[in-house]
């Protein structure tokens, strides 16, 4: 594109110091003497950003030159966290920048903390998208993230009198130096209106959609730096704007407020992230968000394709579009509309292109989380897309009936329209039939997909479902979060593992080396001290770093069973008080996580954790033997402090319910032992670390399914298990909430009457396994050896491995692919 290859920039501290001060002076208008910490952050970010832009152009030029296949990752969420440390680390600038700043008495580690988290996601799904963006850039895949530029990301959580309070998040208030507005990349997005058939002379009849409303989607690009800065990819986030920001005629006629109504309505689309990760929201605004970013992304993809190709018939050879869950599933109908209505393709060819272009990742089997939209809403908002969905459905049903002899019942099962409780569009089915590949996120989850939600479609298209087990990026989750451990491993085996994380297996034998184990344990100890300081500062609770740090951090959900963990804490409390003479291993139980604002039971669980902590932590009878802490406002930045500080990782979901988990991988990579069920990726972690190095308990997925069929309830288990009964009695008695003793009655009565999540069923096995761990912790040599094995054997759980599998099996794109 005629851009000169930029001068190579020097990575010495002198050059960096000069460039940072230049930014401070000419972009911020401060001198080193008057600059505040925030100014230094901004100046450093801008100086680093210049270097990123050089690599960014190089990558863009290379993709254009090579003409290879691009990968577009469509996701409603990208839970990135802070960006500066990640960028500096991947550019190999950490030490030079640290030194450059130190010359002015500025600490890199201090100013980094001033950057707000980009919290454009709820949890696992959004964080996976962020790890995948980093891994695509690191493994050489030409990856483009597409999503929404929410003005308000995931809410900030405070705890008031033990209960969750949600506060608005405002990450953009001070501006965002990482993003570039691209006014030239903007598209009109329509809503509502009518569809009519038009017949022009000499052309086949076609449908024309005349939307009643139009909104502008404006692109904001953020560079995504890969490892060693070799490649920089783009995350393109869409922001909604009114086409006519103030209606001038209304304004001129004196209706100053009325003139703003349209722009407020338009801009509302990208105002806020929906904070639910387990129940379908069902609001019109959510469907507007989904269509808005799907349509903008597809228009952008098509425009670029037509800049580089004669027409769209080879679209699938040049782009792979991955749908991150069903949130962008309306894209299937929208691409069909663009191909057929706008670009004049025949239906069959358009359908072939569409299917060859899309692939879809499923992240949940929970029925209450599956997206399905009422037909009347869909029809009113997206009338043409609704017609297209009916037409797709007719084709699928015809194929099933004619070629496979499906009867009415089987047809109803695969239909895109749920005729049951009010007619609805099933977004999972739409994503499935519109894709050539559909994947689950762990081996077990993929199996269960075939047996449950997609049973019938799997029968019809038996080659479509495949597994792609999740991974996490070792740059953020090991190198950046745990520089101490990274340094130790580098000393022991050299830096090769930084470029190929599976080489980390080379420390496996050092589990038998007492000197290495001691250094490994010393680093863990430092990381625990750092977390203890955070807990001390934020919550005025003191915890002893020599105790087991037993940590469960994740979204709060009944299936994740934080409740089971709290009940075990209460039972332990009871036992310590009853048997103070026994040799208890000191434990700190740490919780963090957010509840969806409308999820009553999840909020009660947060309340219980806080109430229990208040009572136990104040009881002199247990002293330092047991503490229970709930750290508010769990986010990516807090996770970076927590993961390296854990001895024990709690991965205790009801078997069959957690699609994969990724926190499980971050903990184990940092040397935590796992206590967990045979669920999600825990199953594969067991295979990789070996059964001596992970602590598995509880019912299996098929046993859970069996018990549910038998209408299992907790009552008889509780009656026969005194520790469980006493813990539940303590909760019911109001011991932890004397001001409002009935606060947790419904939580407890659910266990007696139903125990849907198998908390009672798994309690004893969980308790016993915890006591085994208590005992093991007293034999530090053994414990630390297992910890080393965990770190050594987690290389496979890198998102680099996940991305290479997607690239090879689904996208046919990236290094070593013909495309």
* Binding footprint of ligand 26M on the chain (CB under 6 A): 122-125, 128, 274, 276-277, 280-281, 286, 363-364, 369, 371, 441, 470, 658-662, 680
CA distance 640 to 288: 34
335/87 Cα distance (integer angstroms): 34
Is the Cβ of residue 369 or residue 413 nearer to ligand 26M in the bound state?
A: 369
Q: Which is nearer to ligand 26M, 18 or 279 (CB)?
A: 279
157: helix, strand or coil: strand
Regarding beta strands 70-74 and 143-148, do their DSSP bridges make them parallel or antiparallel, or are they unpaired?
parallel
- Of 652, 654, 759, 768, give the one whose Cα is nearest residue 713: 759
Q: Please say if 55 is a catalytic residue.
A: no
Active site residue 594: no
Q: Which is nearer to ligand 26M, 355 or 555 (CB)?
A: 555
**Residue (233 or 364) nearer to ligand 26M, CB:** 364
Report helix, strand or coil for 156. Answer: strand
- 93/71 Cα distance (integer angstroms): 28
| Closer of 283 and 753 to ligand 26M (Cβ) | 283
State in angstroms the smallest separation of the CB of 165 from ligand 26M.
Answer: 21
Is 666 designated active site?
yes
Is 557 assigned a catalytic role? no
Within its chain, how far is the Cα of 284 from the centroid? 24
Nearest approach, Cβ of residue 155 and ligand 26M (Å)? 13
Q: Which residue's CB is nearer to ligand 26M, number 41 or number 668?
A: 668
What is the chain's Cα-based Rg? 27
Are the C-beta atoms of residues 503 and 496 closer than 8 Å to each other? yes
Catalytic residue among 607, 666, 786, 804: 666
Please identify, using beta-carbon distances, which residue of 169 and 658 lies nearer to ligand 26M. Answer: 658
Shortest reach from residue 656's CB to ligand 26M, in Å: 12
Q: How far is the CB of 310 from ligand 26M (least distance, A)?
A: 38
Burial group, residue 589, by CB count within 10 angstroms (0-12, 13-18, 19+): buried
Which listed residue (45, 361, 662, 674) is catalytic?
Answer: 662
Tokens representing 38 are 């925030």
Q: Answer whether 331's CB lies under 8 Å from 317's CB.
A: no
Cα separation, 495 vs 253, in Å, equals 70
Is 5 catalytic? The answer is no
Closest approach, Cβ 360 to ligand 26M, in A, equals: 13
Catalytic residue among 372, 554, 561, 688: 554
Neighbouring CB atoms inside 10 A of 71's CB total 26
Q: 89, 478 in Cβ contact below 8 A?
A: no
Q: Which is nearer to ligand 26M, 604 or 658 (CB)?
A: 658
Q: What is the DSSP string of 399-438?
A: HHHHHH---HHHHHHH-SEE-SSS-EEEHHHHHHHT-SEE
Contact 350, 405 (CB under 8 A): no
User: Is residue 363 flagged as an active site residue?
Assistant: yes
Give the nearest distance from C-beta 261 to ligand 26M in angstroms. 26
Three-state helix/strand/coil letters over 17-48: HHHHHHHHHHHHCCCCCCCCHHHHHHHHHHHH
Of 55, 236, 363, 688, the active-site residue reads: 363
Name the DSSP class of 207.
Answer: E
Neighbours of 366 (CB within 10 A): 16
Q: Which of 468, 560, 603, 607 is catalytic?
A: 560
Residue 426 sits at the vertex; the CA angle it makes with 422 and 432, to the nearest 5 degrees, is 165
Contact status, residue 636 vs residue 594, Cβ threshold 8 Å: no
Q: How far is the CB of 76 from ligand 26M (least distance, A)?
A: 7
Q: What are phi and psi of 185, to 5 degrees?
A: -100, 85
Q: Which residues of 647-678 are buried (b: 16+ CB within 10 A; e: fewer)?
A: bbbbbbbbbbbbbbbbbbbbbbbbbbbbbbbb
Nearer to ligand 26M, 445 or 517 (CB): 445
Given the complex with ligand 26M, which of 633 and 662 has the nearer CB atom? 662
CB of 754 to ligand 26M, least distance (A): 22
By Cβ distance, which residue is nearest to ligand 26M?
Answer: 124
Cβ-contact 366, 657 below 8 angstroms: yes
CB of 100 to ligand 26M, least distance (A): 38
Kindly state the tokens that stand for 550. 């037993």
Is 157 or 470 the residue whose CB approaches ligand 26M more closely? 470
Smallest distance, ligand 26M to C-beta of residue 686, A: 16
Minimum distance between the CB of residue 328 and ligand 26M, rounded to whole angstroms? 12
Long-range contacts of 406-415, Cβ-Cβ distance < 8 Å, separation of 24 or more: 406/460, 410/456, 413/455, 413/456, 414/456, 414/457, 414/460
State which H helix or E strand residue 519 sits in: helix 514-539
Catalytic residues: 363, 554-555, 560, 662, 666
């Amino acid at each position: 594109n005629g851009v000169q290859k930029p001068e190579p920039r020097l990575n010495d501290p002198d050059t960096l110091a000069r460039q940072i001060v230049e930014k401070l002076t000419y972009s911020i208008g401060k001198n080193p003497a008057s600059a505040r910490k925030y100014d230094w952050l901004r100046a450093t970010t801008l100086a680093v950003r210049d270097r990123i832009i050089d690599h960014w152009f190089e990558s863009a030029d290379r993709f254009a030159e090579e003409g290879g296949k691009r990968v577009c990752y469509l996701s409603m969420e990208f839970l990135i966290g802070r960006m500066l440390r990640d960028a500096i680390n991947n550019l190999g600038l950490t030490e030079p920048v640290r030194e450059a700043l130190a010359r002015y008495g500025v600490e890199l580690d201090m100013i980094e903390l001033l950057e707000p988290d980009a919290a454009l996601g709820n949890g696992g799904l959004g964080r996976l998208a962020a790890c995948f963006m980093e891994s695509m850039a690191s493994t050489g895949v030409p990856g483009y993230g597409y999503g929404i530029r929410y003005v308000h990301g995931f809410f900030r959580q405070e705890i008031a009198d033990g209960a969750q309070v949600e506060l608005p998040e405002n990450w953009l208030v001070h501006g965002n130096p990482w993003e570039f507005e691209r006014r030239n990349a903007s598209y009109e997005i329509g809503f509502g209106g009518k569809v009519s058939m038009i017949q022009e002379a000499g052309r086949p009849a076609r449908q024309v959609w005349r939307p009643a409303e139009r909104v502008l989607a404006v692109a904001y690009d953020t560079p995504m730096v890969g490892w060693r800065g070799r490649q920089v990819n783009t995350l393109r986030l869409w922001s909604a704007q009114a086409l006519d920001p103030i209606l001038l005629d209304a304004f001129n006629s004196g209706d100053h407020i009325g003139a703003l109504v349209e722009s407020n309505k338009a801009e509302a689309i990208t105002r806020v992230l929906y904070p639910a990760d387990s129940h379908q929201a069902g609001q019109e605004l959510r469907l507007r968000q989904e269509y808005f970013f799907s349509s903008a992304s597809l228009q952008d993809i098509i425009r670029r394709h037509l800049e580089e190709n004669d027409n769209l018939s080879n679209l699938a050879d040049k782009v792979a579009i991955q749908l991150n869950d069903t949130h962008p599933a309306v894209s299937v109908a929208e691409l069909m509309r663009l191909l057929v209505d706008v670009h004049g393709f025949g239906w069959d060819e358009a359908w072939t292109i569409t299917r060859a272009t899309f692939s879809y990742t499923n992240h949940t089997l929970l029925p209450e989380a599956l997206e399905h939209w009422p037909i009347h809403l869909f029809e009113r908002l997206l009338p043409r897309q609704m017609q297209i969905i009916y037409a797709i459905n007719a084709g699928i049903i015809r194929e099933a009936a004619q070629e496979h002899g499906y009867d009415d019942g089987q047809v109803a099962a695969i239909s895109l329209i749920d005729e049951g409780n009010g007619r609805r569009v099933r977004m999972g089915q739409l994503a499935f039939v519109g894709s050539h590949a559909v994947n689950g996120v762990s081996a077990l989850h993929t199996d269960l997909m075939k047996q449950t939600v997609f049973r019938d479609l799997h029968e019809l298209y038996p080659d479509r479902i495949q597994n792609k087990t999740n991974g996490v990026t070792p740059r953020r989750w090991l190198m950046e979060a745990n520089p101490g451990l990274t340094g130790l491993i580098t000393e022991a085996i050299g830096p090769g593992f930084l470029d190929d994380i599976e080489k980390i297996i080379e420390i496996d034998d050092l589990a038998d080396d007492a000197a290495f184990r001691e250094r490994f344990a010393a680093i863990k100890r430092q990381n625990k001290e750092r977390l203890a300081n955070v807990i001390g500062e934020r919550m005025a609770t003191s915890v002893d770093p020599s105790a087991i740090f037993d940590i469960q951090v994740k979204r709060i959900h009944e299936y994740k069973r934080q409740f089971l963990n709290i009940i075990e804490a209460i039972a332990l409390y009871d036992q310590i008080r009853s048997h103070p003479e026994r040799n208890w291993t000191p434990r700190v139980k740490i919780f963090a996580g957010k509840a969806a604002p409308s999820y009553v039971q999840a909020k009660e669980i947060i309340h219980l954790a806080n109430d229990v902590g208040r009572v136990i932590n104040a009881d002199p009878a247990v002293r330092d033997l047991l503490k229970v802490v709930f750290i508010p406002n769990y986010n990516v930045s807090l996770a970076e402090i927590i993961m390296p500080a854990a001895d024990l990782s709690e991965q205790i979901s009801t078997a069959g319910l957690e699609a994969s988990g990724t926190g499980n991988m971050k903990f184990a990579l940092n040397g935590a032992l796992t206590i967990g069920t045979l669920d999600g990726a825990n199953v594969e972690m067991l295979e990789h670390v070996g059964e001596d190095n992970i602590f598995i308990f509880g019912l299996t997925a098929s046993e859970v399914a069996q018990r549910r069929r038998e209408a299992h309830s907790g009552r008889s288990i509780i009656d026969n298990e005194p520790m469980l009964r006493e813990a539940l009695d303590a909760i019911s008695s109001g011991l932890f909430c004397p001001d409002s003793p009935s606060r947790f009655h419904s939580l407890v009565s659910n266990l007696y009457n139903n125990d849907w999540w198998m908390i009672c069923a798994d309690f004893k096995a969980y308790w016993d396994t915890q006591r085994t761990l208590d005992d093991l912790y007293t034999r530090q040599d053994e414990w630390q050896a297992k910890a080393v094995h965990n770190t050594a054997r987690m290389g496979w759980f890198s998102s680099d491995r996940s991305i290479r599998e997607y690239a090879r099996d689904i996208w046919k794109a990236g290094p070593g692919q013909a495309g």
